[in-house]
Amino acid sequence: MYLQVSPAGSKRWFLKYRIAGVEKQLALGSYPTVSLTAARRARDVAKLQKSEGLDPVQVRKIEKLKAVNPTGDTFRVVAWEWYDKQAPQWSEAHAERSKRQFERDLLPWLGDRRMKEIEPVELLATLRKVEERGAVETADRGLMLARQVWRYGVATGRVQRDITADLKGALTPYRGKHFAAITDPVKLGELIRAIRAYKGGPIVRAALQLAPMLFQRPGELRGAAWTEIDLDAALWTIPAARMKRGKDGKENGDPHLVPLPRQAVAILRGLHGYTGHGVMVFPGERSHERPISENSVRTALITMGYTSESQTWHGFRATARTMLAERLEFDPLVIEAQLAHAVKDANGRAYNRTTYLAQRTVMMQHWADFLDKLATGAEVIPLRAA
């Protein structure tokens, strides 16, 4: 340790030391503001850090970086700071769902606690409150949100480590529930016959008939607008903003093109006489500016004897995906493109931009014809590629 005197007369304490053979200097303060006794205490702290394998200069830099978080280190502060950085990249629905979960399940118990003082058992107790109301999936999502907040807290110096790793195996395992879907040809034929015999209103009946034939997501089908439908070209163009995508995909992504088989065009032409004067293809009863609810088709399926344990609206996607591959032997990549799923291509790129529109047009007509044959009880022979 030494006192350095500048040409201007200022005096500062420095500690000279070596790390891996490289000489370094650590400023200990200005004299006389920092006395010799105080400088020696600072020197002793630095020597202790060095003996523990730390570089005193790096320790000083980290302390300065931590000091640039003036907003605080409570769970509430760090959680909202992380949320504000992530939310612009999410869809509105995902952002709102995450915000509600913070406000309902995490902040009431952890919000005002400093993150470095929260013990793993406290976080576990908070998440078990969610489990106790039977919301196992919600508890699992709560842990994922907490994990992201803790990782952000570590990165910004609010907390030393991610305590969520200590909770591995402590919560009830959540097994994602698949949407019920019929994949047996005979049973599917029975369902198609029941759909065609449905005596409800023309709007719900048309949606019921198109659901298994086009197998798009319920929100995409029921929210269809007539401006998206080109019956002459037999093509349905779903805007990117209505697709299940992140915010960037909704704002800048390409629309999803759905080829319409002859049977779908016929159903839509018939429906046009009922709803073609308005905006929505499937308008609701209370407001023609809003589509029918998802419960409309779900209730119709239940009326026909198909509960959520046997067949769901969303489950028609799994029905088509399974039977197109196993029964009709279509290329899985073409099927995934029709489902609007992003898949890795052979070169490992994040997304395969090929739309397979020509192949999907052929596939969708084969699928509609296949459903017709099942409905009549005819024997269906797999269509093998030449």
Out of 85, 187, 288, 351, pick the active-site residue: 351
Give the helix/strand (H/E) hosting 132: helix 120-132
Decide if 341 is catalytic. yes
From the CB of residue 8, how many other CB atoms can be counted at a distance below 10 Å?
Answer: 5
Decide if 317 is catalytic. yes
Out of 141, 158, 317, 327, pick the active-site residue: 317
Pull the structure tokens for residue 268: 């839509």
Out of 60, 76, 113, 244, pick the active-site residue: 244
Whole-number Å distance between alpha carbons of 299 and 301? 5
Residue length of the chain: 386
Decide if 351 is catalytic. yes
Residues 144, 104 contacting (CB under 8 angstroms) = no
Out of 217, 222, 327, 360, pick the active-site residue: 217
Whole-number Å distance between alpha carbons of 59 and 174? 42
Decide if 94 is catalytic. no
Pull the structure tokens for residue 31: 């004299």
Whole-number Å distance between alpha carbons of 3 and 9? 12
Out of 158, 205, 314, 360, pick the active-site residue: 314
Give the helix/strand (H/E) hosting 11: strand 11-19
Whole-number Å distance between alpha carbons of 165 and 161? 9
Residue type, 135: A
| Active-site residue set | 217, 244, 314, 317, 341, 351
